[in-house]
Amino acid sequence: MTAAGVRRRIAVINPNTTESMTASIAEAARSVVDVSTEVVSITNAHGPASIESHYDEAMAVPGLLAEIAAAEADGVDGFVIACFGDPGLDAAREIASGPVVGIAEAGFHLATMLGRSFSVVTTLARTMGQAEHLVQRYGFAGHCRSIYACEVPVLELDDPASDARKLVIDYCRRAVEHDEADSVVLGCAGMADFCHDVSEQVGVPVIDGVSAGVLLVESMVKLGLRTSTRSEYAPPLPKEYR
């Protein structure tokens, strides 16, 4: 059921199991949506505390999909997968009837409408390959100038001792001055609250995928657009499980 005045509900799902991250993700999402949009924030009940490898992604996805299926059953209208690797995106599009957007995807799309080029600043160097893969998959290889890693683990981003904010600003500056990026996409849901500060320091648009993603999903829901069920993204066939 839905509170008075609420006309749509969008689930913002944290694929890792760290509640504190979910809280800041939800805050980033709630701060930008309509008064008529309810943000349902969800933490993955099963999986790793943070996602920093292909293995972490793979282990987080079944739990993530279970959360999406539950929210779908509960009538949620659209979904944001709030992890920069966009884990489980294709599978989520099969099981959700409403639109599903990943935060890397969301950040890249908006970046290409704010200039010719963008760069990415992410957490650990080992995740740069997945960012590069997504850039290519979504069609933005010609727009992405560079990808940097500040080498701060996801769960230490909000630890002042990690110096994360300063490192992110340094790499963003490098992307702009050295690689001539017109904007920067922040490569982790945990960087959402760095966004405005970094942008002010560096002087170019800095995009947080969480707030970008929730507005893209809200837009598609308002437009009545749902993932195509023509063939690939139709609901999966029932299977016998062992």
Residues 147-166 that bind its own copies (CB under 8 A): 153
Q: Does 121 bind its own copies (CB under 8 A)?
A: no
Q: Cα separation of 16 and 37, whole Å?
A: 24
Q: Does 75 bind its own copies (CB under 8 A)?
A: no
**Binding its own copies by CB under 8 A: which of 2, 7, 34, 166?**
34
Exposed/middle/buried for residue 183 (C-beta within 10 Å: 0-12, 13-18, 19+): buried
Instruction: Kindly indicate which of the ranges 5-13, 50-58, 160-168, 186-194 contains the residues binding its own copies, using the contact rule CB under 8 A.
Output: 50-58
Structure tokens at 170: 């340094």
User: Nearest-CA neighbor of 20 among 160, 155, 197, 196?
Assistant: 155
Q: Cα separation of 164 and 138, whole Å?
A: 28
User: Nearest-CA neighbor of 38 among 82, 81, 1, 63?
Assistant: 1
Instruction: Kindly indicate which of the ranges 1-9, 157-165, 186-194, 232-240 contains the residues binding its own copies, using the contact rule CB under 8 A.
Output: 232-240
Phi then psi dihedrals of residue 56, to 5 deg = -60, -45
Q: Using the minimum distance from each CB to its own copies, give the nearer residue, 60 or 164.
A: 60
Q: Using the minimum distance from each CB to its own copies, give the nearer residue, 1 or 182.
A: 182
**Binding its own copies by CB under 8 A: which of 6, 70, 75, 126?**
126
86 touches 61 (CB < 8 A): no
Q: Using the minimum distance from each CB to its own copies, give the nearer residue, 1 or 96.
A: 96
Q: Does 176 bind its own copies (CB under 8 A)?
A: yes
Q: Cα separation of 226 and 208, whole Å?
A: 23
Q: Does 73 bind its own copies (CB under 8 A)?
A: no
> What pairs with residue 108 in β-bridges?
none
Q: Does 82 bind its own copies (CB under 8 A)?
A: no
Instruction: Kindly indicate which of the ranges 3-11, 160-168, 186-194, 214-222 contains the residues binding its own copies, using the contact rule CB under 8 A.
Output: 214-222
